[in-house]
Amino acid sequence: MSEQQYQSLPVILAGPILRKTTSQDIIIWLVTSQQLSGRFEVTHNESKEIVLQENLAQYQQFQVGDSAWVSLIQARGDFPTNTALRYDIVTQSGSLSAVAPELLYDNEDALEFQITNKADYILHGSCRNPNHYAKDALIAADQKVAQLSFENRPDMLIMSGDQIYADHVTGPLLCAIHQVIDILGLPKEEFEQAPINNSDELYRHPDTIYGRYSILPTTQSHNGLLRRIISNTPKPIFTSQNCVNHLISFSEFFAMYLLVWSPELWSRVNLNSLEIDTNQASNQVKQGLEKWASEKEHLESFISGLAHSRRLMAHIPTYMIFDDHDVTDDWNLTVGWEKAVSENKLSQRVIGNGLISYWLCQGWGNEPNNFDDHFVHLAKTYFTSPSTTNQNAFIQHLNKFESWHYTIPTLPKVVVLDTRTRRWRSESKMNKPSGLMDWEALVELQQELLHESKVVIVSAAPMFGVKFIETLQRIMTWAGQPLLIDAENWMAHPGSANTLLSIFTHTKTPTNFVILSGDVHYSFAYDIKLRHSKSSPNIFQITCSGLKNQFPEPLLKVCDTLDRLLYSPYSFLNLFTKRKRLLIKKRDPDTAGFRRLINQSAIGELKLDEKGKPVSVQLLTGEGKTVRFPERS
């Protein structure tokens, strides 16, 4: 990058994102083009009395490129709760209101927020695919918050997985990612056991856009009935149907976060600058190029709303957890998949790069205290000197790390689960889906719940999903093709299913459970009780997905109809499911027709009463409409 380009970069490239906020901690994440200097301030909104003022130099900053610094402001103190506060990051270029005035709502002259000890009003959602044609529901959420009085704003925003789609990147987006890598001088890396030696060769490869199947590793199939019938030839390790543009290098992962969370770098990107020699390109690349115009149209629609999603996350405390697409589709779904990854150094590196970028851009801000000095030392060593040795050492530590889960100390307590890295692996078949959490992780979950009267559990996949769809997943697992239909759900593994169900029947666990989920690309709400029990807890499964994604139609309509016909609350077919001890009643949305599964991009809005029971369950769609799930009479 030239000196002129460097000087033209804004100081703040992405963020600020307001992360964890408690009476002892205020956590803010941001990416800047220069090392930050200046001060961080928190003041009372009305009196303007200073609550905290600290030098930015004391906070952790990692330089991840020539012009890219990631900062985590972690201010500690005794902060007032349930009152209007404001924060400012006064950089070398001025205050937030000067360098990013678009972050302010109309009635603000500084960014206002509050530290709440409640979780009575929660926004939640997952599956924000920038390449999908659906409208981004975060835009609608921001527009609604802009109209609310300060005291009526949501307590938090929970993003329950798939904040990026590392395995589903369109040609125009990958082209933009490569330009950002160059603009910011993001690090190069070497690859082992790969058809390319380094990231420079990757970016110049004739199949780098629309042809990455030829670069990504393959494995021999772990035998299943259907696979043996169809073919026994090597198959891709990365199983997404869209992985022709799967992210590979750390710089690609990191650049994608900047592009999906902020509009700043898009003005410096040219989506018409694709340079491909069609004479050398494979047929797959040529076929991909035919989609360029439509992909660009969808991407430009997404870009136009980024100022809204950025503003929302600057004001509302935002908590995150990964699901598969943050790293790759079907991540750790089966023992066979894990084994295939472990046997190839390129696949290990891809997964490791996904985890590095997740930690840096998401996990770090959820609960910084989960990451000890050794963890931070490995990170700092890699970012300071991104050699193969340092990168592999950091990835090795990440692969063993088991503290991605966390709790939010509110009333009710919010318990956010890691359902990806602590799997209950099948001991019978290599291609059988693993349980979403192993026995030890589930025991830890139960300990978190003991003696709580009310709780909100965040699980990427619904704990109680659509039974007909789960039956289809079971059939595909029997046929040896669990990856084909993402055959992972809480009931797929008997050990994790039975242990989970026992938690809900424990006499010392909460009276009211609210489970917030996403993942499935449709939305629904269930009321659940134990059959034949006079002291059953109240369990509410509330699913909202996706923020910018939808399930294929009319397939969902067929699944919805058959689920209603075959698995009504009193159907005898329930006796053949692991949930036969539970009475599940499905809420009807206030939409025309008989559909219970809503297939629109949306963000969930949940309001709880003082006992932790939902008083309002609704969706705010990307179109700005409200869909309610009233309580069953």
| Per-residue pLDDT, 516 | 98
Cα separation, 438 vs 460, whole angstroms: 15
3-state secondary structure at position 533: coil
419-446: average pLDDT: 90
| Per-residue pLDDT, 385 | 96
71-98: average pLDDT: 94
110-135: average pLDDT: 96
pLDDT at 315 over 50: yes
11-19: average pLDDT: 96
485-490: average pLDDT: 70
For 537-549, write each residue's pLDDT tens digit.
Answer: 999 999 999 999 9
More confident residue, 280 or 592: 592
For 565-615, write each residue's pLDDT tens digit.
Answer: 888 877 888 777 777 888 889 999 999 988 999 999 999 999 999 999 999
Determine what percent of the chain is predicted with pLDDT higher than 70.
93
379-395: average pLDDT: 97
Q: What is the chain's mean pLDDT, rounded?
A: 91
Beta carbons of 368 and 404 less than 8 angstroms apart: no
385-397: average pLDDT: 97
Highest mean pLDDT of the ranges 271-275, 559-563, 620-624: 620-624
| Per-residue pLDDT, 4 | 45
For 347-402, the DSSP string reads: HHHHHHHHHHHHIIIIIHHH-GGGS-HHHHHHHHHHHHS--HHHHHHHHHHHHH--
Beta carbons of 350 and 190 less than 8 angstroms apart: no
Cα separation, 486 vs 475, whole angstroms: 12
| Per-residue pLDDT, 341 | 94
pLDDT at 1 over 60: no
**In this structure, what is the dihedral angle of CA atoms 189, 194, 200, 206, given to the nearest 10 degrees?**
-160
Beta carbons of 85 and 45 less than 8 angstroms apart: yes
More confident residue, 351 or 491: 351
Token pair recorded at residue 434: 């693993």
More confident residue, 363 or 293: 363
Cα separation, 86 vs 110, whole angstroms: 6
pLDDT category of residue 2 using cuts at 50, 70 and 90 = very low
For 219-256, write each residue's pLDDT tens digit.
Answer: 865 545 445 455 556 777 887 666 689 999 999 999 99
| Per-residue pLDDT, 140 | 98
